């Protein structure tokens, strides 16, 4: 990597558009009302500090195998529907973001996470950790195999079950496009009532929290395939005439 | 294309993804240069209640003020023992802690203004559908800091809440200075957060 100072002023990071993001305050999601700031957020200039960010994270964090449905190549496959997830990470201009670290975490097929905060009585699968780390290739693409996560009840709610979803944490090239989200599966009845998925006003943006199904390939090993492309904030600045 | 929607980190962010990330003082077997420090504090919500299980991430320049990123014109001189990014999780008391180095001030170049020593900080937790972002400064008083980001905070009390305070009565492991930065996400002495 060579220094390229010219690039900093060529990329624009506009604030997120409210209608394309989840609402900050969500009815029946009490912590959104006790944790979001009461004071208006403050506009600041973007300097080198905000326009840079951690890159080449594979030098700092370990990468996992591409198939997280197997704890090791020799171990039995995790219980559940075998899936393959693919997609790309680009900026708002559609330019691929190569070398982006992606972290994923998910429940097992019974809706159980290996986490001290998870008090759901569902069983742990000894052959599944539910976490993975991957890096996008030169075209900004990623691919991994896993099992489809199960739904699970929200501990403090008497009605809310989370639909199956996979958590994604993505590091773009800048502190401004550090990105965290959850991606849902198409056609799940619980999708219709999920407080988080339905907190996005814009229907096109809401759809981008849901995997697309893609045709399966018939072969010795079969799996359902899902695709989700991510668009991280950042686009080429339009030249100003002044 | 519009950016993908953010969503909350939820309660189950894996401990494996946090382990070892609180310590920024070495990278690829090399020790970071400069003054090592502990940066610690509590994260609280309305009513001063601690937020358990929040994820705090930081991004900062090295002790010379250089960012380990190719956009920094001094990138080639970045400290080989300092990566600049860290992650921590809050405990039941809302407490997080990083071992890092005192960031250097950075010179301006081109359209970029000089910056005072600072650490970029973001917070993720249940109830937050998007991250909260703020900046940590190191000074006795806000008046002694000349910085274009701190200058955007209109209220003097708010500016003083963006200063990490040296704890005079204790030191970290190895006798390093401890700086305390509490984060109030909502409440009377709320931390200023930026439009993201």
Interface of B with A in 99-138 (CB under 8 A): 106, 109-113, 115, 118, 120, 122, 124-132, 135
Interface check for A149 against chain B (CB to CB < 8 A): the answer is no
User: Is B4 part of a structural domain of the chain?
Assistant: no
Q: Which residue has the higher pLDDT, A41 or B168?
A: A41
CATH code: domain of residue B25 = 2.60.130.10
Q: Which domain holds residue B154?
A: 15-184
Q: Which residue has the higher pLDDT, A164 or A9?
A: A164
pLDDT of A241: 58
User: Is the pLDDT confidence value at A240 over 70?
Assistant: no
User: Is B9 part of a structural domain of the chain?
Assistant: no
pLDDT band at A175, cuts 50/70/90?
A: very high
ipTM value greater than 0.90: yes
User: Is B59 part of a structural domain of the chain?
Assistant: yes
Residue ranges of chain B whose pLDDT lies below 70:
none
pLDDT band at A239, cuts 50/70/90?
A: low
Active site residue A165: yes
User: Is the pLDDT confidence value at A37 over 50?
Assistant: yes
- Domain A5-32+46-234 matching CATH 2.60.130.10: the answer reads yes
State pLDDT tens for residues A119-138: 999 999 999 999 999 999 99
- Residue B31: CA atoms inside 13 Å, Cβ hemisphere, count? 4
> C-alpha B12: how far from its chain's center?
22
State pLDDT tens for residues A76-118: 999 999 999 999 999 999 999 999 999 999 999 999 999 999 9
User: Is B189 part of a structural domain of the chain?
Assistant: no
User: Is the pLDDT confidence value at A3 over 60?
Assistant: no
User: Is B8 part of a structural domain of the chain?
Assistant: no
CA separation (Å) from B157 to B119, B127, B132, B144, B163? 19, 26, 19, 14, 11
Shortest CA gap A152–chain B (Å): 12
User: Is B194 part of a structural domain of the chain?
Assistant: no
Give the closest of B4, B67, B196 to A48, CB-based: B67
Task: Count up the domains in chain B and report the number.
Answer: 1
Domain range annotation of chain A? 5-32+46-234
Query: Hey, are the CB atoms on B1 and A92 less than 8 Å from each other?
Result: yes
Active site residue A162: yes
pLDDT of A120: 93
Kindly state the percentage of chain A with pLDDT values over 90: 87
Query: Hey, are the CB atoms on A52 and B71 less than 8 Å from each other?
Result: yes
pLDDT of B85: 98
Mean pLDDT on A177-204: 97
Mean pLDDT on A27-55: 96
Interface of A with B in 154-183 (CB under 8 A): 167, 169, 173, 175-182
User: Is B190 part of a structural domain of the chain?
Assistant: no
pLDDT of A9: 55
Give the closest of B5, B75, B76 to A181, CB-based: B5
pTM to 2 decimal places: 0.95
């Amino acid at each position: 990597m060579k220094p390229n100072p010219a690039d900093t002023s060529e990329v624009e990071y506009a604030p997120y558009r409210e209608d394309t993001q989840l609402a900050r305050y969500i009815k029946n999601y009490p912590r959104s009302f006790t944790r979001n700031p009461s004071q208006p957020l403050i506009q600041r200039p973007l300097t080198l500090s905000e326009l840079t960010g951690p890159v080449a994270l594979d030098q700092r964090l370990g990468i996992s195998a591409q198939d997280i449905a197997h704890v090791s190549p020799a171990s039995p496959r995790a219980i559940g529907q075998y899936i393959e997830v693919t997609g790309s990470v680009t900026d708002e201009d559609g330019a691929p973001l190569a070398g982006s670290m992606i972290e994923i975490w998910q429940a097992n097929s019974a809706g159980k996470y290996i986490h001290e905060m998870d008090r759901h009585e569902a069983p742990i699968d000894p052959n599944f950790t539910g976490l993975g780390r991957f890096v996008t290739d030169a075209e900004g693409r990623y691919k991994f195999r896993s099992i489809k996560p199960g739904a699970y009840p929200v501990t403090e709610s008497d009605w809310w079950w989370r639909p199956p979803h996979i958590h994604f944490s993505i590091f773009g090239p800048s502190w401004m496009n550090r990105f965290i989200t959850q991606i849902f599966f198409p056609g799940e009845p619980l999708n219709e009532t999920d407080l988080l998925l339905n907190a996005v006003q814009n229907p096109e943006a809401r759809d981008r929290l849901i995997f697309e199904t893609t045709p399966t390939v018939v072969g010795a090993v079969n799996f359902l395939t899902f695709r989700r492309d991510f668009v991280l904030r950042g686009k080429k600045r339009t030249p100003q005439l002044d | 294309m519009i950016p993908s929607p953010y969503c909350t980190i939820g309660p189950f962010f894996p401990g494996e993804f946090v382990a070892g990330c609180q310590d920024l003082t070495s990278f690829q077997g090399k020790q970071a240069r400069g003054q090592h420090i502990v940066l610690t504090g509590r994260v609280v919500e309305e009513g001063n209640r601690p937020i358990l299980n929040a994820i705090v991430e930081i991004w900062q320049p090295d002790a010379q003020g250089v960012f380990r990123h190719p956009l920094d014109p001094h990138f080639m001189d970045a400290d080989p023992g300092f990566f600049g990014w860290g992650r921590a999780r809050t405990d039941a008391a809302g407490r997080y802690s990083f071992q890092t180095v005192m960031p250097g001030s950075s010179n301006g170049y081109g359209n970029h203004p000089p910056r005072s020593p600072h650490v970029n900080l973001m917070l993720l937790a249940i109830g937050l559908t998007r991250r909260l972002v703020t900046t940590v400064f190191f000074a006795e008083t806000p008046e002694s800091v000349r910085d274009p980001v701190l200058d955007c905070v209109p209220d003097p009390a708010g500016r003083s809440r963006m200063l990490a305070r040296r704890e005079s009565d204790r030191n970290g492991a190895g006798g390093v200075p401890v700086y305390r930065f509490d984060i109030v996400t909502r409440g009377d002495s709320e931390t200023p957060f930026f439009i993201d």
